[in-house]
Structure formats: C-alpha cells, structure tokens
Amino acid sequence: GVDLLTVGEALVSLRSAGPLTVGGPLTPYLAGAESNVSIGVARLGHRAAFAGRVSADELGLFLLRQLRAEGVDVGHVVRDPDRPAGLMFLERRTADLTRVIYQRAGSAGSALTVDDLRPALAAGTHVLHLTGITPALSDSARAATEWAAGTAARSGALVCLDVNYRSRLWSRDAARAVLTPLAGHAAVVVASHDELDLLGDHGADEPTVVAGLLDRGVSTVLVKLGGDGARAYTREGRVETAAVPVTAVDTVGAGDAFTAGYLSGHLDGLDLAGRLRRAVTLGAFAVAGHGDWEALPRRDELALLDGRQSGSTV
C-alpha cells in the first residue's frame, strides 16, 4: 500500500509566454489538481500514487515520466490507445493575468472507469484524495469517483475531497447535485469560501454548510481564503491560520499545495494546528514560485518558509 493515492486526470499544459494569437513557443508541463497533490506529498517524502487513464501516445508517456521523476507511483495508471491526452493552453496575457483554454472533452483521462481503479484501491492506501473535477468529466468518471470514495472509506482510509469547482465543465447546480452526496464519504473536505454552497443547499451560508457536513460525518472542513490564509472547522470548533507572507508570482496550484501540506501533516500525525501550518506553508511555496507544482518544497526545504515573518536571505 501507499500513504496517499490520488485519482483524476493528468493534463498536458502548454504554456506560452505571451498572447496565443500571435503564436510563438509553447512549452509542455504536467498539470492537474490531483497530480499536483501527489507531487506535493511525494516531495515531502511520503509514498504517493496517482491512478487514472492517460493516452498511450507520447503525450501520455510524457505525463507518466513527469510523475515518475517526482517519485509518484504510476504503476496502476491505465494507458488508452484510442483517446488523446487532455490539453490545456495557458496564455500569459499580461504580467499578472493568465487565461486558460481547455481541450479535454473526450480525452483518455475523462474515460476513467471503476475497473480502471480497482487495482489501485485493492493495493491499499492510508489517504485517498479526490477532487470535484473528476466527477465532472464523464458519467463513467463520476461513477469511478463515487466508487473509489465509498470503497476507500469502507476500508478505513481517510478520504479527502477538494471541491475544485470548474465552471467550464458543469453548472453549479449540476456540481451541487453530485458533490453534496460525495462529500458524505469524505473525512476531510476542502473548499474555497465561494465553493461552499456546492456542498449543501443552494445559497446556504458558511456556518450552515459546515454544520451540515459535520452532521454527515465529515470530521474536518477546510476553507481556503487565498492571501488571508484558511479556516478549519471540526466538531471541537473553529481554528484560523494566517497565510505565510510571501511575494506571490503565480497563484495557480496554491489550493492543491495547501491540500498536499494538510495531508502530509495528517500522515505525520500532526495536530490540527500543525496540519494547517504545513498547509499554509505549502500554499506559500506554490504562490511564491512559478508553475503549478514545480516550486513545492522537499522536506528539508520546509523550514525556508515555515514560520516566516517577512523577507529574508538564507
């Protein structure tokens, strides 16, 4: 078994340094919320695995190679000879404005099935991390996500669900109808403040949604607040954590880094305050460096930003 298993779609992200309309070089990178979390956890020395479906062509091999290079176990990834890699184009439109174009409909990753995931779940994991992106990809991917959540929860694994609402994949109403019941399988639920009402009744406020989740057996609800840090709710009450002050250069991946930090803290047996501190520390690394996951720390680098008050030379 592994410490953490994540399931989802890994994408090829093609980044341009300027407007896409004028052309110029595109550079391929591995992208995807779930694979970001697996890398964050693996860099901290835990045994992490990624499961899903990738294209059987060079682009799929590229994704597997990147994950392997980061120490993520991809032994249970299924290779699909009939479907293409999901793509995203990241266009740096201005210095601080990035636009995204997706080409992921009909991709290998979106064709995920329950059978694809059976070997990875059977191998066992302490933590299963899922996002609200995967069930939006297709009916079979939704069934696979729901099956994985139920199976892992019954086997005693800690199931973590990050809402990760993607408006290009489904409406808020469609997401709410799937994610509200799915969250009932999770022990840890992660959301941004504006995603919370996808986990309860339409228009419900934060205290109401959180109370509903805790009633349904969720043990920890994490609310991400960007540069303001995060809040955690448990049955014992509420804990707030400030963000680590850094100069933000690229905020993509902050939420995934935060979740990776939290789950690493869980695997290390840290208390809630310690888990949150590691979460905001990883979030700070993500925003303070370029790329979705490239700037995430190894364990010996955690101290660079942990407890940091202001700029420094090391």
Residues marked active site are found at 256
Residue among 72 and 257 whose Cβ is closer to ligand ATP: 257
* 248 makes contact with ligand ATP (CB under 6 A): yes
Part of the chain binding ligand ATP (CB under 6 A), chosen from 57-65, 104-112, 129-137, 223-231: 223-231
Cα–Cα distance for residue pair 240/233, rounded to 1 Å: 9
* 256 makes contact with ligand ATP (CB under 6 A): yes
* 225 makes contact with ligand ATP (CB under 6 A): yes
| Eight-class DSSP state of 187 | S
* 274 makes contact with ligand ATP (CB under 6 A): no
Nearest to 107 by CA among 134, 146, 128: 134
Residue 286 tokens read as 């993500």
Cα–Cα distance for residue pair 245/220, rounded to 1 Å: 25
Residue 106 tokens read as 């009909």
Q: State the residue for tokens 């994950």.
A: 67
**Cβ(71)–Cβ(42) below 8 Å:** yes
- The pattern of x and - marking residues 170 through 209 that bind ligand ATP according to CB under 6 A reads ----------------------x-----------------
What DSSP string describes 90-101?
EEEEETTEEEEE
- The pattern of x and - marking residues 136 through 175 that bind ligand ATP according to CB under 6 A reads ----------------------------------------
User: At closest approach, how far in Å is the CB of 252 from ligand ATP?
Assistant: 5
CA-based angle 123:218:203, to the nearest 5? 125
Residue 173 tokens read as 């109403």
Cα–Cα distance list, 194 to 138, 167, 205, 241 (Å): 24, 12, 10, 18
Strand order in the sheet with 11-16: 26-31, 11-16, 87-94, 97-103
Q: Which of 45, 150, 226, 274 binds ligand ATP (CB under 6 A)?
A: 226
Part of the chain binding ligand ATP (CB under 6 A), chosen from 94-102, 153-161, 224-232, 297-305: 224-232
* 230 makes contact with ligand ATP (CB under 6 A): yes
* 111 makes contact with ligand ATP (CB under 6 A): no
Residue among 53 and 224 whose Cβ is closer to ligand ATP: 224
Part of the chain binding ligand ATP (CB under 6 A), chosen from 22-30, 141-149, 166-174, 219-227: 219-227
User: At closest approach, how far in Å is the CB of 191 from ligand ATP?
Assistant: 9
* 50 three-state secondary structure: strand
* 229 makes contact with ligand ATP (CB under 6 A): yes
Cα–Cα distance for residue pair 139/151, rounded to 1 Å: 18
**Cβ(91)–Cβ(19) below 8 Å:** yes
Which positions lie near ligand ATP, rule CB under 6 A?
192, 224-227, 229-230, 243-244, 246, 248, 251-256, 258, 280, 283-284, 287
